[in-house]
Amino acid sequence: MTIKVGDKLPDATFNTMSPEGPKPMTTADVFGGKKVVLFAVPGAFTPTCHNTHLPGFIQMAGDMKSKGIDTIACVSVNDVFVLNAWAKQTGAEGKIVFLADGSADFTKKIGLEFDLTARGLGVRSRRYSMVVENGVVKSLNLEEGATVDKSSAATVCGML
């Protein structure tokens, strides 16, 4: 079943990169007691994610924080090393927390997986953004097509 506004995010564990190396972070660690903008991309370095979706969140991170957001997080069905390389290359490091959902456990639990096996990409996440308060989904902006529209940083920032 697809997650909806008012639902609590399920328990899941992501991988994040720390100075000591890969470090697990649970949904409780990321969302507990915090107001979080979460956005999901089908893949690090893929054209629309790299050129359009992520850059908007990098540019608007300061605006979101000034509107009361504690954390801006990006989840993707990629391994933590790829996400870390993406964070470094794009200048997102320190602004956005990257959550590697390598086996799509979280993404499947919230019903937002997207099967790109036929294109050689395996199971990925649909593109969306959410505002999450203390683990509860307050808004969900899910893309239906291939563009970045509803889930963009500008749209979510305008809702804060």
Whole-number minimum distance, CB 26 to ligand BEZ, in Å? 27
Strands (E) in 27-151, as ranges, are 35-41, 71-76, 97-100, 113-116, 122-125, 128-133, 136-142
56 binds ligand BEZ (CB under 6 A): no
Cβ-Cβ contacts under 8 Å for 88 (sequence gap 6 or more): none
- From the CB of 67, what's the least distance to ligand BEZ, in Å? 27
Closest listed residue to residue 131, CA positions, set 58, 52, 50, 57: 57
**Antiparallel, parallel or unpaired: β 136-142 and 97-100:** unpaired
Query: Per rule CB under 6 A, is residue 47 in the interface with ligand BEZ?
Result: yes
CB of 124 to ligand BEZ, least distance (A): 6
Q: Minimum distance from CB of 156 to ligand BEZ (Å)? A: 18
Q: From residue 29, how far is each of 8, 32, 53, 97, 146 by CA, in Å?
A: 14, 6, 25, 12, 31
d(CA 100, CA 75): 6
Of residues 36, 38, 40, 43, which one binds ligand BEZ by CB under 6 A?
43
Binding of ligand BEZ at residue 120 (CB under 6 A)?
no
Reported in sequence order, the residue ranges of 49-157 that DSSP labels E, i.e. its strands, are: 71-76, 97-100, 113-116, 122-125, 128-133, 136-142
Of 85, 121, 154, 160, the residue at the interface with ligand BEZ (CB under 6 A) is 121
Between 26 and 51, whose beta carbon lies closer to ligand BEZ?
A: 51
59: which 2 tokens?
A: 């540019």
> Which member of 25, 30, 49, 72 binds ligand BEZ (CB under 6 A)?
49
Which region among 42-50, 66-74, 80-88, 97-105 touches ligand BEZ (by CB under 6 A)? 42-50
Residues contacting ligand BEZ: total by CB under 6 A? 8
Give contact residues for ligand BEZ (rule: CB under 6 A): 42-43, 46-49, 116, 121
